[in-house]
Amino acid sequence: MPASESVLLLRDVVAAGAAVTATRSRLAKTTALAALLDRASDAELPVVVAWLSGDTGHGRLGVGWRSLIDREHAPAEVDTLTVAAVDAAFADIAAISGAGSQSQRAAVIDGLLGQATAAEQRFLIQLMLGELRQGALEGVMVEAIASSTTVPAAAVRRALMLSGSLAHTAATARAGGVDALSAVGLEVGRPLRPMLASPAGSVSAALESLGGPMSAEFKFDGARIQVHRNDDRVWVFTRTLADVTARVPEIVEQVLTLPVTSVVLDGETLALDDAGRPRPFQETMSRFGSANGSDAAEVLRPYFFDCLHRDGVDLIDRPLSERLDALDAVAAAHRIPAVTISAATADAEAQISGQLRSALADGHEGIMLKGLDTAYEAGRRGKGWQKIKPVHTLDLVVLAAEWGSGRRTGLLSNLHLGARDPDGGDPIMVGKTFKGLTDALLRWQTDTFPDYARDPSESGHVVWLRPELVVEIALDGVQVSRRYPGGVALRFARVVRYRPDRTAADADTIDAVRALLPKRAN
């Protein structure tokens, strides 16, 4: 157990993060993290766990890239910053609001970075910008917490799923061991991590995998929501567990009409046009960026596909069939369209394909297949839920690449992607991605891209390339965007492969990209 007078320095956290980054061994990562957690006091433990998971512990600090990079911060020569001092500074930054907040934040940041060494400055800047990537992934941290507190990893994992917080879970494990972790349950008003779906290779593959009876639901292109109600109090959380209750008053109003005293519902919300078809995804998401939801023009409607708690009874360990019965009893009018499929019938594949066609015809992005005997695996991407939707691919031009950080330090990673201008102009940028890049591709890019650099002498964060390389990109869709000159942006883009058989003249045009917009947006 940690010494009661332990004073952990920031340099210790930075060193542990560097050790994790330097190895590909999961055991070595776990050992390095557990050793640091062993040294942390009870107060320092949740802070350190949050940081090494890429979280400041105080949410988003409202700090922009330019406010950190454009200001001069001469590094300190001696590493004296403590974990407690940095955490206090983060708390101060998070609490600043109102007139003059930008200059006040800058003053606190200047004071903090002025006390940090060069290595500590890099760590703090990445942490404040939400860009800390060093291999201390959630699964490894779960194992490190288990090792440090001598409790089973399964107990840590379940408590994390139900509490939604690694830091809280670590503190619970330290304070009460496996008994305290086992006591963590679903709490109305506290979000739990949502269950996620795995992509299905095909309808037949999903049928074979799920085996038994299943629900085939429409997959909406909306925003995931988790709704909690206790008497006349309602909470609405996003997929990332952010509380957006104040921004969606119409959802709160509709939930208050449900015939139930306490409930936890999982679902989606989206805005519909006058014809009842879904509006573009970003119009729904814009509501969650609005300080006051009641000022927004779009009306959001909730659609639910699961019931996790009803009137004092937790249902997450019950089969989906029971949870759907509870959902129908509480909110049948708000249920996402679904049909029940028996995998044993000869026409099961035809039924699923018909449901997929219906979902696409109504403007949705596909369907979800869910085994009716599955429990709710909070925070897991299990095989009990599988998603089926069309996959779009585009051949795009690589315009630039950014030098990576964390495990990708020293490698050219994030790609800038452009579509061909049918009028013969320069390629038009439509997005960025680093998804799908294998270690081999990262090394190939790093070795090859300098030969295509517009200015070989340039040494900045971005290497701009002559528009000659073509890459095949898979994506979930396209949305309207002011961020890029083509007026569109790729959604969930990932690299499939490079196309040495194609030149920039063979790349897809900006018109082909825009054709993937939902009809209303197009």
Q: Which residues are catalytic?
A: 219
Q: Measuring CA to CA, how many Å separate 314 from each of 135, 179, 501?
A: 34, 19, 56
| R_g (Cα) of the chain, nearest Å | 25
Contact 287, 247 (CB under 8 A): yes
Q: How remote is the C-alpha of 288 from its chain's centroid?
A: 15
CA separation, residue 92 to residues 53, 96, 107 (Å)? 21, 7, 11
- Helix H or strand E segment including 107: helix 101-114
Which alpha helices (H) appear in 286-412, and where do they start and end? Answer: 320-331, 348-361
Residue written as token pair 């991407």: 381
Please report the DSSP string for 196-208 in residue order: EEEEPS-HHHHHH
Are the CB atoms for 14 and 123 separated by under 8 Å? Answer: yes
Q: Could you give phi then psi for residue 136, rounded to 5 degrees? A: -80, 65
Contact of 262 with 230, CB cutoff 8 Å: yes
Bridge-based pairing state of the strands 381-388 and 196-199: parallel
Pair 330, 263: CB distance under 8 Å: yes
Handedness of CA 363, 367, 372, 378 (dihedral sign): negative
DSSP3 helix / strand / coil % (the chain, rounded to 5) = 40, 25, 35
**Pairing outcome for strands 494-498 and 470-475:** antiparallel
DSSP symbol at 82: B
Query: What is the rounded distance in angstroms from the CA atom of residue 189 to the CA atom of residue 198?
Result: 27
For 280, what's the count of Cα atoms within 13 Å in the CB-facing half-sphere? Answer: 18
Question: Cα 187–190–195 angle (5° rounding)?
Answer: 90
CA distance 43 to 328: 45
